[in-house]
Structure formats: C-alpha cells, structure tokens
Structure 1
Amino acid sequence: MSNGSEGATPGFLVWRLSMKWRVAVDRAVAPLGLTHAQYSLVASLHGMQRSGLRPSQRRLADHTGLEPLYVSKLARALEGAGLLERTRDPRDPRAVQLALTDEGRDVTRRAITVVHGLLEQLLQPLGGLGGPRAREFTRDLATLLDTPLDPFTEHDENKQEQT
C-alpha cells in the first residue's frame, strides 16, 4: 500500500481510485477528441447498439450513472462533433434516441482499445484483466454498485429519535 493510503478509509480509497481512473482516461482519450465523460457515453452507446438497442438519452443516463441533463449536454457536443445522431423517438415524441455515426463508431472503437490497455495496466497488480483477483475485484465492485445508498436515511433516523 502506498504511503498516502496507509490508514485510509475504504471511502477515501474508492474516491482516490475513481479520480486516478478519471484523470488517466481523460489523458488517454484526449488525442481522440474525447473527455472521460464523453468516452463513457460513446462506449456505453456502442455496447448498447451492438446489442441491437437504440437507447434514449434517459436510458443511457441510467446505464452510465450520469445525470440526464449532463447526458443531454454531452450528446449535443458529440452530435456537433459528428460522432452521434440525436433523433426523436417515434413512439414517444418527448424522448430523444441516440446512435453513433460511422465516424463515432470508428472513434469509439479506437478509444475502447486505448482504455482497455489502460485497464490492463491498472489491474496488472491483481494479475491482469483476466486474472482471478481481478475477476473477484470486479464482482466486489459490482456488489458495491448494486447496494443502494440513501444519504438521508441516517439523518432521518436521528431526526425521528429526537422527536
């Protein structure tokens, strides 16, 4: 464990790791004209399209964990760069569907390759991406992400105890 991590709480370590990852991905995809947030959007959209889906902005927001308003802002910028198309959903005129353009698919494939290499580097101390420790780490992360958090629960319980 590095000197700066000794005695650190799991929350602090998760935050530090997420910041380290965000900065590394930002730097890695910048030559492709993307930010980390844009990469998250186009890579997720790429995967969904490969599954035959043409998601709405809302569905993509739910998938990525990004706020719907932020997804809308990112989608507009990516549309302006010629990487994706935004069209009205014929079944729901309020919804906007997203799809990668040909150029968007090309840039996304290259970005995925770059980020995959970065992920291999990050997970090397755990035996690499395909190693058993990395698979266990991935399961642990998924478990933590699936755990609902309500920041008001403790506060609400304390408030009820006081009344």
Structure 2
Amino acid sequence: MSKASEGATPGFLVWRLSMKWRVAVDRAVAPLGLTHAQYALVASLYGMQRAGERPSQRRLADHTGLEPLYVSKLARSLESAGLLERAKDPRDPRAVQLALTDAGRETTRRAIGIVQGLLAQLLEPLGGPDGDRARELTRDLTALLDTPLDPAAAGPPEQ
C-alpha cells in the first residue's frame, strides 16, 4: 500500500482509482480523437449494437451512468466527428436513437483494444483480468454499484 493510501477511506480510494483510470483512458484514446467519456459512450453503444439493440440516448445514459443531458452533448460531438448517427425513434417522437457509423465501429474497436490493454496493466497486481482476485473485485464492485444511495437519508453533517 502506498503512503498516500494509508488510513484512507474506501470512498477516497474509489475516487482516486476512478480518477487514475479516467486520466489513463483519456490519454490512451486521445490519438483516436476520443475522450474517456466519449469512449464510455461508444464502447457501450458498440456492445449494445452487437447484441442487436439500437438504444435511445436515455437508455444509453442509464447504461453508462452518465447524465442524459451529457449523453446528448457527447452524442452531438460524436455525430459531428462522423462516428455516430442520431435518428428519431419511430415509436417515440421525443426519443433519439443512436448507432455507430462504420467509422465509429472501427474507431471503437481500436479503442476497446487499447483500453483492454490498460485494464490488463491495472489488474496485473490481482493476477490479471482473469485471475480469482480480479473476479472477486468485479463481484465486490458490482455489489457496491447495485447498492442504492440516497444522499438525503445520510442526514445533516455533524457540527
């Protein structure tokens, strides 16, 4: 454990790890013209399309955990870059469906390979992505993500 982590709360460590990951992904996908947030969007969309889904912006926001307004902004920038198509949902005129273009699929495939390499580096101390400790970490993180949080229920701060 590093000196900076001694006595740190789990919340602080989660935050630090998420920042470390975001910065690493930002730097790694920048040569492809992507940011970390754009990568999260196109990689999620790539997986959903491979499963036969053409999600709405709202569905993609729910899947990624990003705010719907931010997903809309990201989708517009990715559309301008020629990586994504936005179209009205024929079943709901208020909804916008998203799909990767051919260029978007190719860029996303390349980005996924790069990010998988980063993930292998990150998980190496746990035995690599397929190691028992990495699988246990995935289960623990999933349990934490599945736990609802209500900031209002936390109560007022102590004085």
**Alignment TM class, shorter chain as reference:** over 0.9
The equivalent of 1:113 in structure 2 is: 113
- 1:31 matched to 2:31? The reply is yes
Q: TM-score, normalised by structure 2?
A: 0.97
The 3-state SS of whatever aligns with 2:34 is coil
Which protein has the larger Cα radius of gyration, Structure 1 or Structure 2?
1
Residue 153 of structure 1: how far off its partner (Å): 0.5
Q: TM-score, normalised by structure 1?
A: 0.95
- Tell me which residue corresponds to 1:139: 139
Gaps of 5+ in 2: none
Match of 1:152, SS? Answer: helix
Provide, for residues 48-103 of structure 1, a one-character-per-residue CA deviation record: whole Å limited to 9, x for no partner: 00000000000000000000000000000000000000000000000000000000
Q: Distance in 2 between matches of 1:65 and 1:154?
A: 21
Distance 1:154 1:128 in 2: 36
Secondary structure of the equivalent of 2:130? coil
What secondary structure, in the 3-state scheme, does the structure 2 residue paired with 1:8 have? coil
Please give the per-residue CA displacement for 1:123-142, whole angstroms capped at 9, x wherever unaligned. 00000000000000000000
Cross-structure match for 1:45: 45
Equivalent AA in structure 2 for residue 47 of structure 1: G
Partners of 1:154 and 1:101 lie apart in 2 by 44
1:18 equivalent to 2:21? Answer no
Could you tell me which runs of 5 or more consecutive residues in structure 1 were left unpaired when the two chains were aligned: 159-163
**Aligned 1:69-108 pairs, distance under 5 A:** 69-108=69-108
Instruction: Write the deviation string for residues 106-146 of structure 1: whole angstroms up to 9, x where unpaired.
Output: 00000000000000000000000000000000000000000
- The list of structure 1 runs, each at least 4 consecutive aligned residues, that deviate by more than 6 angstroms after superposition, is none
SS in 2 for 1:118: helix
- SS of 1:55 mapped into structure 2: coil
| Aligned residues between the structures | 157
Taking the aligned partners of 1:31 and 1:10, their CA distance within structure 2 comes to: 33
RMSD of aligned Cα (Å): 1.0
Helix, strand or coil for the counterpart of 2:86?
A: strand
Query: What does residue 67 of structure 2 align with?
Result: 67
